[in-house]
Structure 1
């Protein structure tokens, strides 16, 4: 009821203020109109006075001019002064009179406000000109002067009649303004009385009807409010989020839905009436929530720790709003159990820490193979920061040492099996090449679509270098750097397989240095080693990139010449080798000379396997030695036992 009374008083006050405002506006308009009418009336009286004054000045000018013509010389200055003063005053008032005449309203049949006003102006101007002429000729003026007659006639004739008519019009206009003022005041009074009558009927009668309607509206509103509160109770009761209502004055819970009680593990009957503070995990947590509520008036999605009935703490998202419940200030709270989410976040946090501390680089890319995450080890190994690689393709690490077939095979296996692992060469930001042991795993969503790729790799450059060193030691001669027997046999085997597959021919040369033992005995083993190195360089200079030159042992060398046709190409290479070997050597200041004996076996003419080719070339080489050395022989010529001649 108090609210209804306030509304009634407010509406009544507003209506009275509106009536008073209308009356005030009418009074102000009436005052403004009256002021303007009085000012207009005063102006009309001034115009009447002005027209009468001008008429008087015209008569005075005519009198002064006639007196100048008849007075003696001693009185003439006084008459001239009267004439001059009258002319000046008439001339100064003339524009004002003409302007006032033009402003007069038109009258039917008597258009004095336009044409006659201009005529009066011309007549007065002409009269002034005659007066100025009399003034200029004052010393010689006499009563017979024709200009004096014209001036006197104008003053006694139509000019005065026009001024009298104008004076009459000014009086009529002034009277019309006074009548308009009386009409305006009467109309204002009538309108004010009408407003008072209308306001009396329009304020009290509607307020009585409004009061009756307000009572009806209040009853309907209370009924709707009860229905609304009941609907709200049902909505809150069925909410999947815990909802509670606590009084602000004492903090006791007056409502809680089933979900709220389930989260806390307390029966709702025990929960209602209990202090809300008992559910916080500790007093520090409760004070923090109260401080936030006092500071902002509400809480939005704060992570707060509560305690269940059995004492176990749990994390919740808490939202609080201040409202009224059953006509009492309350705090409406929503809680959502996020214990599992917090546990998942903790696991994610630990996983992130593990990734950050791993020595292996981890790189995660999306389904489009754009990098979305790298760990610190990735930066340490590749020299690229996270900001430099995120959003880019992993191909920025490509070294260029692997061809397209390698990557195609890698992706085929990755997409078919879901993973791939192997060694690969990459390039650091500085441009340095490095080897990694790489493992890639495909992450798929529940619908089978690819979500991400996870790549883990470690820098194995040192291991690769060690492996390459061990492999080189196992396959290359330590003194000359040439392939050793093991690598030679492997390449010979590959050459046989390829030649057999392609139907091509190749040659095997067995070379032995003539005179090496004498140099070694005379100059020592160091000089002998130097001689072997020099001879290896000369032999290598004669080889093509596709050929193989190997050192078997001591001073024995073997050569594989691929893609030969007949005997001409091997014979040409053999001659070149013998010529290069026969050139003098300078072994640290000691001169030395050696020669070479070469045996040549052709595949498949002389043999079709590795052992047969080596044996046949070896036999041909020994045949050369028996026949004088420093020459070469084909295995197919062993039957004739005649070495090929040097040319």
Structure 2
């Protein structure tokens, strides 16, 4: 066995391992790096073939015996050979490269290196080439491939065709894809590229590309970055679809939607205007209906309740109180003395003014909670709620005095009228509203016969029987 010594310290600084063999293939010396890579002591004097077999047996090297034999045969160097590399997989997944070179003494110098990263790059390159080939075959859209290491770009014939260019027109020396991007879309393309630099494994963006006919074509870009083990982009593969027709359809749809929205807004405004007009018409009809209902129960000249409203009021008042005990309602039939003469002398407009003035004075004398109605002509009726403490005698005294005050209008026309009144108490004079009015009317005529400007009280049902003539049409006797 040849003598051997430790490896020189300088050799231990090499990144690769080193083992020197004699002419018979026995180890003369080996560095610590080579021992670490093979997981063996590599003692001097051991045949290198035996060391390799022991590593296979120990599971350090993943080789079948026949494969090991071929590897060892490849490592045998003759005088003409300068280096024979062999690649051996390690049990932990790494790859070991062995290069044998002849030594001047007839032996071999064996270099051992960890080439796992190199093998990974080779595998990535093969995978990329396969992916590239598959993409080329499957793509119906335009395609480009950029190699960052060489800064060269491949453009597919279909991409040139999409832009109205002859095959091969797009190239690194001539117009590039980047030079055809619409200026307004350049910032968006830049942001997409930055996303890939930041780690995105796929980006999609839309933009416009110049066409040979002078127009623009909308395109969808789908770009896949290919990275090495350090995450650095080594290639970019991109597919480009012509979406001009789709974008034009979307724009047309958007315009149609805007037009539809505008028509909807205009139609809504029309409907709102029609609705407002209808609402105003409904409100006007309600006002008219309310006015008609008011006129049906009120005197058009004075605004006082009319006979219909008077009778309804009497029935309501009676329904709210008992028909036994002390009287609780007083019906006062009021008739003007001298009205006909004033109306004939000064005209109907003054007569109307006189009636309105008398109506206001009677309402003031009756007070809140009591009703004053006009039956027609110069006849009025007051209904007093005695249950609330109203004194019918006090009312009549005030009414006679107030009505007798002179009346004059803006034209200087004037007149003095007086009041004759008849009073019927409920339930003494009658049980129903019509009977009360008739009894009061009869008592009022008694006041007229006694000299006017006074009042009389109906004493019972027998007094309440009305005279045979229709009181509403009787001629004024003053």
Name the structure with the higher helix share. Answer: 1
TM-score in terms of structure 1 length: 0.37
Which protein has greater RCO, CA pairs closer than 8 Å, 6+ apart? 2
